[in-house]
Homo-oligomer: A and B are copies of this chain.
Amino acid sequence: MAKKYVYFFGGSKAEGSAKMRELLGGKGSNLAEMTSMGIRVPAGFTISTEVCNEYYQNKENYPPELDKQVRENIKKVEKAMGAKFGDKEDPLLLSVRSGARVSMPGMMDTVLNLGLNDTTIEGLVKKSGDRRFAYDCYRRFVQMYGDVVLGLKPEEKEEDYFEVLIEKKKKDRGVKLDTELTADDLEDLVRQFREMIHEKTGAEFPDDPYQQLWGAITAVFGSWNNRRAIEYRKINKIPDHWGTAVNVQSMVYGNLGDDSATGVAFTRDPASGEKRFYGEFLVNAQGEDVVAGIRTPRPINRESKKDDKLVSLEEEMPGVYRELEEVYQKLEGHFREMQDLEFTIQQGSLYLLQTRTGKRTGFAAVRIAVEMVEEGLISKEEAVLRVAPEQLVQLMAPVFDQEEKFKAIKGNRLLAKGLNASPGAASGKVVFSAEDAIARAGEKTILVRLETSPEDIGGMNVAQGVLTARGGMTSHAAVVARGMGKPCVAGCGELDINYAKKEFVVRGESVREGDYISIDGIGGEVIKGELKTYPSEIVQVLVNGTMKKEDSLLAQQFLALMSWADDVRRLGVRTNADTPRDARVARGFGAEGIGLCRTEHMFFGGNRIDSVREMILAEDLDGRRKALEKLLPMQREDFVGIFKEMDGLPVIIRLLDPPLHEFLPHKDEEIEEIARTLGVTPEKLQAKVVSLQEYNPMLGHRGCRLGISYPEITEMQARAIFEAAVEVSKAGIKVIPEVMVPLVGDVREFVNQKEVIVRVAEEVMRDSGLSKADGFKYMVGTMIEVPRAALTASAIAREAEFFSYGTNDLTQMCFGFSRDDADKFLPGYVERGILPAPPFQTIDREGVGELIRMGIEKGKAAKEDLEVGICGEHGGDPASVEFCHQVGMDYVSCSPYRVPIARLAAAQAVLKQRK
């Protein structure tokens, strides 16, 4: 039997279902599901994602069985809709759309009204009784087909041939709007379009409906690999091999007069997560008009209204609205998830064109997940899986101080108000193009556009926030900004943007490129000048204590979700913190200890750096000891502060790691000044700087190599740690210090340093007068960041009490990539698909991961209770956290603000593994 490539849906029967998302894509599987649920969906069929993959594997050829299956399904659609494809009396018209496993809004191509030609147009005229409508369809079809299938879509700065002809026609006819053109005008435009296409492409516009259909199908499959789609997949980590399905569906018309409409809706508020039906619609329009943001749509119901002048669907077509309400409740109940719907009303009849899981902000994600648990719709574990860890960033992102913002507004600095399309506060310099944003990537910028399009994604990625003049909550800018967790104010129609002058004017005020503005993605305000950003509600409740938990629903819901995550996760979550302040923040976010306290940062504060330099310049051991003695009390105080904050929790302190030259000045004028401070000649300092220079400092005299060369440094640091531990122990604080030796590659390096540490610990304990009962336990362990350490982990584990993976350096050495230099080629690597993701962001499982796995296996085999964690930046990356769980680490450690992300990711890792 031939392989099945095509799946029909229509009437109330469907060959597919929601479970077949991988094969049929999100759109196709849900169309099938809705059909089976008895919801009114225009009949159609889905060509599976397998065809996409086979097409590309087979040098862009289709499986031979496909043509027959498509023809059979066309017959079924004809039967369901009572019209015939290519028929001159009652022609069936089709839409052809992409549909990948996950939504990639606006990334791929669509062709509507397919099946029209000079014969079938007459049937459509007769059938609709509206010649202007019919020719408007024909005009749209030829234009869309020309753009998408025949390749006339204008790239930036290219001429849009179709628009030129339309403009000319409008000018000739002395009208301003498209809608003012008559049926004859449109008929003439169709003729002009077809001639122009012939001229530009050298081929006649295809009249054969099947030829049209195959052209559109091929265009959709082809769009899977267009530049925008590839870029989108890269940003969103969607594998290339997923492929897209193609949905061929009979047309329904939202543009058949004032009893027709098209719209989109969310079953809950995608910005706040509030439980209310929320959406927008346009009367007498086709679906693409809403998403494109060209006309500002109207609210779907009274509740959604922001502007009293706009009449809602609830008010205008109450019957249809009630039907829509029933549908949305049915869908949310069925999918047990917030839905994003597309619907069309054709002459009073409601059709559903799509339902899918709705994108949402981090705020909404938490609220919806928690409230759905309260409603009994989903389990706590499902709730934990419903929030992408990365989304939590939004909850912790800074906001404007309401007072300051209010003052700015009172002070006439409010430039405009738009839609609060994506939450968060941002200030930055205005730029008017994605390129300019990228060029100023080092600065804070706000990208200001009439509307955004997929070409702008790169620029949105580097900007602090996005401001658009057109488009609603579901416009491209809004959807993408929410996905990125960037503040966005959209549809701010008052802005008069002039790209050429790099300026916008609003309420008589001119804002030029480089001027500061501030946007509030929660309130929708656009404010002139820079506004300071302030801690979010979560931070105020959990960290600063400046807000009570009782006053913050968000904080309560956040804590509920986090507690469910904590119930599930096996991995501990610690933090990387070098100061008491960082430690406090992290503890507020739920850190269960410090996984990495870097001592070198402490060497820079105040006049400590002078003592450090004195040590480096010392001629002999005595000189070094003298300088180190000055550092001792200061280091001790650092540790006292941190130990106090972490009362009862373990604190891993890493001994000095960077090469000594990092503490010396390198510019001539600095050298002179510092030599004066230190009381040495500039020549001597210069000579030291030169003698410490290295060809490859990354692989140089640093880490434990320093401690081995200068054991007195290790001694001082160990003394500071243990004296601090004694001090706080005496104050009744429970301290669990874990001393960590960096850059160990051989067990004998570790043993060398461990001997110094243990000796000092014993001395300090003995001299402390602390009784056994009042004393504290400590551990001595090592970073695993040199490949050789992972390879020889058995030997090291016999000596070390804990391992902490330093995956930044491990990645550098495993790949042979210098992080400081790799920017010259690494972006190209990701673009060319040589690497799936930048390995400094997400752990490379194949290579670096293999070393990690091996090190843990060998280490735990040698010492069963070996404590193993990670303290590289990967510790806060959800995909990497999942890997850490899989390989059996005991904890991850990450920066304070990523602690909740790691907690959630750790819980999800458990739940995903169970599946």
Chain A residues close to B by CB (< 8 Å): 694-701, 705, 708-709, 743, 745-746, 748-749, 752, 785-788, 791-792, 795, 809, 812-818, 820-822, 824-825, 828-829, 832-835, 844, 846-848, 850-851
Q: Are A818 and B699 in contact (CB under 8 A)?
A: yes
State whether B696 touches A825 (Cβ < 8 A). Answer: no
Q: In whole angstroms, how far apart are the Cα atoms of A511 and B847 in the complex?
A: 61
Q: Which residues of B contact A851 (CB under 8 A)?
A: 787, 791
Q: Which residue of B lies closest to A809 (CB)?
A: B816
Q: Is the CB of B818 within 8 A of A696?
A: yes
Q: Please name all residues of chain B whose beta carbon is closer than 8 Å to the beta carbon of A795 when the two chains form the complex.
A: 846
Q: Which chain B residues border A829 with CB–CB below 8 Å?
A: 708
Q: With A699-B816, A786-B816, A813-B816 given, name 10 new contacts (CB 8 A).
A: A694-B821, A695-B697, A695-B698, A696-B818, A698-B818, A743-B816, A786-B815, A787-B787, A787-B813, A788-B848
- Residues of B contacting A785 with CB < 8 Å? 816
User: Given A698-B699, A708-B834, A834-B748: A815 and B828 within 8 A (CB)?
Assistant: no
Q: Is the CB of B791 within 8 A of A846?
A: yes
Please list 5 pairs of residues, one from A and one from B, whose beta carbons are closer than 8 Å in the complex, sorted by A's number. Answer: A696-B698, A708-B834, A787-B813, A791-B846, A792-B847
Q: Which of B787, B812, B832, B833 has a CB less than 8 Å from the CB of A814? A: B787
In the bound assembly, the distance between CA atoms of A847 and B812 in angstroms comes to: 17
Residue of B nearest to A789 (CB): B847
Q: In the complex the two chains form, is B787's CB within 8 Å of A821's CB?
A: no
Top 7 A-B pairs ranked by shortest CB distance?
A699-B818, A788-B847, A696-B818, A695-B820, A786-B816, A700-B821, A748-B834
Chain B residues within an 8 Å CB radius of A815: 745, 786, 788
Which of A709, A743, A787, A813: most chain B Cβ within 10 A?
A: A787
Q: Inside 8 A of A791's CB, which chain B residues have their CB? A: 814, 846-847, 850-851
Measured CB to CB, the nearest residue on chain B to A696 is B818
Q: Which residue of B lies closest to A705 (CB)?
A: B825
User: A700 CB to closest chain B CB, in angstroms?
Assistant: 4
Complex formed: what's the CA distance from A635 to B752 in Å? 51
Q: Is the CB of B828 within 8 A of A709?
A: yes
Question: Please, which residues of chain B bring their CB within 8 A of the CB of A814?
Answer: 745, 786-788, 791, 813
Interface pair B825/A701, CB less than 8 Å apart: yes
Bound state CA distance, A255 and B743, in angstroms? 61
Q: Which of B694, B701, B746, B817 contacts A699 (CB 8 A)?
A: B817
Chain B residues near A746 (CB-CB < 8 A): 834-835, 846-847
Q: Complex: how many Å from CA A815 to CA B788?
A: 6
Smallest CB gap from A706: residue in B: B825
Residues of B within 8 Å of A701, CB to CB, are: 821, 824-825
CA distance A752 to B850 in the complex (A): 23
Pick from A748, A816, A846 the residue with the most CB of B within 10 Å. A816
Closest to A811 in B: B788
Complex-state Cα separation, A812 to B746, whole angstroms = 14
**Cα of A694 to Cα of B823 in the assembled complex, Å:** 11
Q: How far is the CB of A657 from chain B (nearest CB, A)?
A: 12
Q: How far is the CA of A816 from the CA of B788 in the complex (A)?
A: 8
Q: How far is the CA of A848 from the CA of B789 in the complex (A)?
A: 11
What are the residues of chain B within 8 A of A833 when measuring CB–CB? 748
Report how far A701 CA is from B817 CA in the complex, Å: 8
A752 touches B699 (CB 8 A): no
Who on chain B is nearest to A826 by CB?
B705
Chain B residue nearest in CB terms to A700: B821
Give min CB distance, A540 to chain B, whole Å.
40
Shortest A770–chain B CB gap in Å is: 30
| Inter-chain contacts of A809 with B (CB < 8 A) | 816
Given A709-B825, A752-B832, A846-B792, A745-B699 contact (CB < 8 Å): no
A825 neighbours in B (Cβ, 8 Å): 701, 705, 708-709
A708-B829, A786-B816 are known contacts. Are A821 and B695 too (CB-CB below 8 A)? Answer: yes
Closest to A846 in B: B792
Residues of B within 8 A of A822 (CB): 699-700
Distance (whole angstroms) from the CB of A615 to the closest CB of chain B: 17
CB distance from A216 to the nearest CB of B (A): 33
Report B-chain residues with C-beta under 8 Å of the C-beta of A699.
696, 698-699, 812-813, 816-818, 821-822
B828 pairs with A708, CB closer than 8 A: yes
| Alpha-carbon distance A848/B822, docked complex (angstroms) | 24
Q: How far is the CA of A381 from the CA of B818 in the complex (A)?
A: 49
**B749 and A821 contact, CB distance less than 8 A:** no
A61 CB, nearest partner CB in chain B, Å: 22
Per the bound structure, the CA–CA distance linking A814 and B749 in Å amounts to 15
* Least distance between A320 CB and chain B CB atoms (Å): 54
User: Which single residue of chain B is at the shortest CB-CB distance from A812?
Assistant: B699
Q: How far is the CA of A795 from the CA of B813 in the complex (A)?
A: 20
**Residues of chain B lying within 8 A (CB to CB) of residue A745:** 814-817, 847
The docked-state distance in angstroms from the alpha carbon of A847 to that of B746 is: 9
Give chain B residues whose Cβ lies under 8 Å from the Cβ of A792: 846-847, 850
Contacts of A694 in B (CB 8 A): 818, 820-821, 824
Specify which chain B residues have a CB less than 8 angstroms from the CB of A786 in the assembled complex: 814-816
Residues in chain B near residue A844, CB distance under 8 A: 788
CB distance from A660 to the nearest CB of B (A): 10
Minimum distance in angstroms from A762 CB to a CB of chain B: 18
With both chains docked as a complex, state the minimum distance between the C-beta of A818 and any C-beta of chain B, in angstroms: 4
**Shortest distance between the CB of A397 and any CB in chain B (Å):** 32
- A694 to B: closest C-beta gap in Å: 4
Cβ of A869 to closest chain B Cβ, rounded Å: 20
**Bound: A844/B789 CA distance, A:** 13
Q: Roughly how many angstroms separate A815 CA and B810 CA in the complex, as a whole number?
A: 11
CA of A820 to CA of B846, assembled, Å = 30
Q: Smallest distance from the beta carbon of A853 to chain B beta carbons, Å?
A: 10
Complex contact A834–B749 (CB within 8 A) = yes
Residues of B within 8 A of A816 (CB): 698-699, 743, 745, 785-788, 809, 813
Instruction: Give the complex CA separation of A729 and B745 in angstroms.
Output: 49
- Tell me the complex Cα distance, A743–B822, Å: 14
User: A743 — nearest CB in chain B belongs to which residue?
Assistant: B816
Q: How near does chain B come to A388, taking the closest CB pair, in angstroms?
A: 28
Shortest CB–CB separation between residue A490 and chain B, in angstroms?
A: 39
Determine the distance from Cα of A701 to Cα of B696 in the docked complex, in whole angstroms: 13
A307 to B: closest C-beta gap in Å: 53
A820 and B701 CA atoms in complex are apart in Å by 11
Closest to A701 in B: B824
Q: How far is the CB of A811 from chain B (nearest CB, A)?
A: 9
Taken together as a complex, chains A and B put the C-alpha atoms of A54 and B171 apart, in Å, by 106
Instruction: List, in ascending order, chain B residues with CB within 8 A of A834's CB.
Output: 708, 746, 748-749, 752
Contacts of A850 in B (CB 8 A): 791-792
User: How far, in whole Å, are A211 and B700 apart by their CA atoms in the complex?
Assistant: 52
Q: How far is the CB of A260 from chain B (nearest CB, A)?
A: 51
- A832: chain B residues within 8 A (beta carbon): 708, 752
How far does the alpha carbon of A695 sit from the alpha carbon of B821 in the complex, in Å?
A: 6
Nearest chain B residue, comparing its CB with the CB of A659: B821
Tell me the minimal C-beta distance from A753 to chain B in angstroms: 11
Give CA–CA (A700, B695) in the complex, Å: 12
**How far apart sit A147 and B835, CA to CA, in the bound complex (Å)?**
68
- Nearest residue (CB) in B for A751 is B834
Chain B nearest CB from A691 CB (Å) reads 9
Contacts of A846 in B (CB 8 A): 746, 788, 791-792, 795
When chains A and B are docked, how far (Å) is the Cα of A825 from the Cα of B705?
Answer: 7
Identify A696's interface contact among B697, B709, B788, CB under 8 A.
Answer: B697
Interchain CA distance A792-B846 in the complex, whole Å: 7
Q: In the complex the two chains form, what is the Cα distance from A236 to B828 in whole Å?
A: 49
Q: Which residues of B contact A697 (CB under 8 A)?
A: 695-696, 818, 821
Q: Are A824 and B700 in contact (CB under 8 A)?
A: yes
Instruction: Return chain B residues, CB-CB under 8 Å to A847.
Output: 745-746, 787-788, 791-792
Question: Which residues of the other chain, B, contact A812 by a CB distance below 8 angstroms?
Answer: 699
Per the bound structure, the CA–CA distance linking A833 and B708 in Å amounts to 12
